Amino acid sequence: MNRVLATPNALARLKAAGVSLPAEPEETSPRDLDRLLGGDTVHQGVVLEVAPLDPVEIGALHDKRLVVCLDQVSDPHNVGAILRSAAAFGADAVLSTARHAPTETGVLAKSASGALDLIPLVTVGNLARALDDLGYDGFVRIGFDEAAESTIEAAFTGARIALVLGAEGKGLRRLTREKCDRIARLPTSGSLASLNVSNAAALGLYVARRHLDSLA
């Protein structure tokens, strides 16, 4: 840990509660914390500045069973919600691109509701190459597309699954699609033909978990 920043009011509340801080706090203002963390971050007046965790490499996933791959999904709220669903359905990791994707900010962490501490967020420089690596390790790579002929129920096979989802609006990029073993859709019957990417991920993870559990 590098340092502790806190507002006077937060320090008073911590002192009244008998909380022991790991380091001598530096007094600051709410405005300075907002500037440091971003206006959408909920900090409650206290910030711990720590060193980043060691990154997780894709090679660490060779013995895993369920991963989610995001093709330039850029909204931190969506990525956070996907991490939360990944934790709920027992996924092993979420892969994201280095470009056109959010970093691990307070906004993303808040949207993840604690899942950022539970699910590795693996950043890859080249998603197509990462999908190749997953394929070599025996993952069946299932891309989501609302125009696909096959439904997700019919697409699942094998003991290792990689769900591949594209950004809202753009969807999967051409090369990403070509690296998928199967392209599937979520069958909808209402007036809207598609779902928010985080909702699509949650449904895909549910079906994937049911499939994998059926193999046990």
d(CA 128, CA 214): 29
pLDDT in tens, 146-196: 888 888 888 999 999 999 999 888 889 999 999 999 999 887 776 666 788
Domain match, 38 and 104 both: no
d(CA 139, CA 132): 10
d(CA 136, CA 155): 19
Q: How many domains is the chain built from?
A: 2
d(CA 26, CA 6): 6
Higher-confidence position of 128 and 56: 128
Domain match, 45 and 62 both: no
Domain match, 8 and 30 both: yes
pLDDT in tens, 63-119: 999 999 999 999 999 999 999 999 999 999 999 999 988 888 777 888 888 888 899
d(CA 84, CA 121): 12
Domain match, 44 and 129 both: no
Segments forming the whole domain that contains residue 118: 58-214
Question: What tokens appear for 17 in the block?
Answer: 């509660």
Domain match, 67 and 121 both: yes
Q: Count Cα neighbours of 96 within 13 Å in the Cβ-side half-sphere.
A: 24
Q: What's this model's pTM, rounded to 2 decimal places? A: 0.83
CATH number at residue 150: 3.40.1280.10
